[in-house]
Amino acid sequence: MEILLSTAGGRAPSPPVWRVDSKLPTMDQIAPAVSVIRQGGIVVYPTETFYGLGGHPELAGAIEKIYRIKRRDLRKPLSLIAADVRAVRRSVASWPPAAERLASAFWPGPLTLVLPASPIFPPALLGQSEKIGLRISSHPVSQLLAAGVGGVLIATSANLSGQPPCRRLEDLEIDVISQVDAIIDGGDTAGQAPSTVVDVTAVPAQLLREGAIPWQAISQFLCG
Q: How many domains does one find in the chain? A: 1
- Does some domain include residue 170? yes
- Does some domain include residue 164? yes
Cβ(219)–Cβ(206) below 8 Å:
no
- Does some domain include residue 6? no
Tens place of pLDDT per residue across the chain (224 aa): 445 444 344 455 689 999 999 999 999 999 999 999 999 999 999 999 999 999 999 999 999 999 999 999 999 999 999 999 999 999 999 999 999 999 999 999 999 999 999 999 999 999 989 999 999 999 999 999 999 999 999 999 999 999 999 999 999 999 999 999 999 999 999 988 999 999 999 999 999 999 999 999 999 998 75
Class of residue 95 by CB neighbours under 10 A (exposed 0-12, middle 13-18, buried 19+): middle
Q: Which residue range forms the structural domain that includes residue 77?
A: 12-219
pLDDT at 114: 98
- Does some domain include residue 4? no
pLDDT at 126: 96
- Does some domain include residue 1? no
Phi, psi of 33 (to 5 degrees): -70, -40
pLDDT at 11: 52
pLDDT at 224: 55
What whole-number distance in Å separates Cα of residue 24 and Cα of residue 199?
32
Q: Where are the alpha helices (DSSP H) in 107-155?
A: 140-149
pLDDT at 85: 96
What whole-number distance in Å separates Cα of residue 55 and Cα of residue 69?
12
What CATH number has the domain bearing residue 124? 3.90.870.10
- Does some domain include residue 224? no
